[in-house]
Amino acid sequence: MENTERLRVFELYSGIGGMHYALKESLVPAEVVAAVDVNTTANLIYKHNFPTTQLLPKTIEGMTLQDFDRLNFDMILMSPPCQPFTRIGLQGDVADPRTKSFLYILDLLPRLSKRPRFILLENVKGFESSAARDALLQTLRECDYSFQEFLISPTSLGIPNSRLRYFLIAKRAPETFSFPVSTEIIEGFPMSESTDGLSVPYDHPTSSASEREKTIMFKLETEEDLERKRKQNSQESVRRLLDFLQEEEEDMEPYLLPPKTLLRYALVMDIVQPSSRRSVCFTKGYGHYVEGTGSVLQSCMDVDLETVFKNLDQLSEEDKLKQLLRLKLRYFTPREISRLMGFPDHFTFPKHISFKQQYRVLGNSLNVHVVSHLIRLMLSK
């Protein structure tokens, strides 16, 4: 790590403060001189956890070049809106109005009186094939930055949660990186940068449409689906989910899946157990929608999952529900999800923030541990 003075950091699209927590975890001598976000709920949560940080509740394009210059920052941390690039969205890219603020930043960067020494950006997988990314790389080259792109999932750090994301770290010349820079996007961390030498590849869903036509075992899963999950659960470099769960004496009744949800979505839910070393990405719809928004936890381990699902489709609705209720399936709590995403336990929500809002802002956030590693990597020589 460089011996350096305290770095002045500008946090753009600050959300609930994931970048700020990552900066703290990295132990880099730095302070967030300002954070900016337009989301009212996220800003309330940010202010609740970082009451002394200057938080600007406005659009980025509402800030002038002079406003940027006045902050005199050394580092930008940013996570621009991902909706224009997500695979399940419309992929409007630079034509999407939500990309406007990001293009504004790229327009300002060459004109700043003092360009930042370091830049870190996070976005969804899909950003790497966008015109917005092309514009970013072109601007960085014109402004004399060296940079490296990554695709990283928290599984690379032994965390049992798939959240594959695009990252870019950039350093202004003449500073250079501590590892060989590649024009290719690196999957995972450079070997020396993973915890205890871990370099777990991110999770590739292996079952294609043609494979899905093969033998269905149970729960609408193919042999390939089950084999992939078995493989993930046998990855001993990844921790078990039980390390992240709340104490059993906590009241979990509010998190149990209601009968209507069980009957409607049982066959498409991703079910994990406390001993599992995997869970699927939690999205902003978690707790509200079931399919594709995150895993649910089997909290009664005296019941065999496969036995419950084996002949489920042949049962009456009443008997089907009896079977499913035996598993005591529940949602992960916001605290458990925030732990999987690397937020410390002293991160809390203001009392009036509903569960739905908590899940929503967590689904829009990032993995703190991954970003913390990247900050250290960006500043190391």
Residues labelled catalytic: 82
Cα 161 from Cα 294, distance rounded (Å)? 10
Nearest Cα to Cα of residue 12 among 71, 79, 62: 79
* Crossing angle (nearest 10°) for helices 18-26 and 368-379: 50
- 57 cis-preceded (ω within 30 degrees of 0): no
- The amino acid at 258: P
In single-letter form, the type of residue at position 43 comes to N
User: Among 29, 103, 112, 21, which residue's Cα sits nearest to residue 60?
Assistant: 103
3-state helix, strand, coil in the chain (%, to 5): 40, 15, 45
Beta bridge partners of 32: 9
Listing DSSP states for 270-328 in one string gives -EE-TT-S--PPP-TTBTTB-TTS--EEE--TTS-HHHHHHTGGGS-HHHHHHHHHTT-
In this structure, what are the phi and psi dihedrals at residue 148, rounded to the nearest 5 degrees?
-140, 135
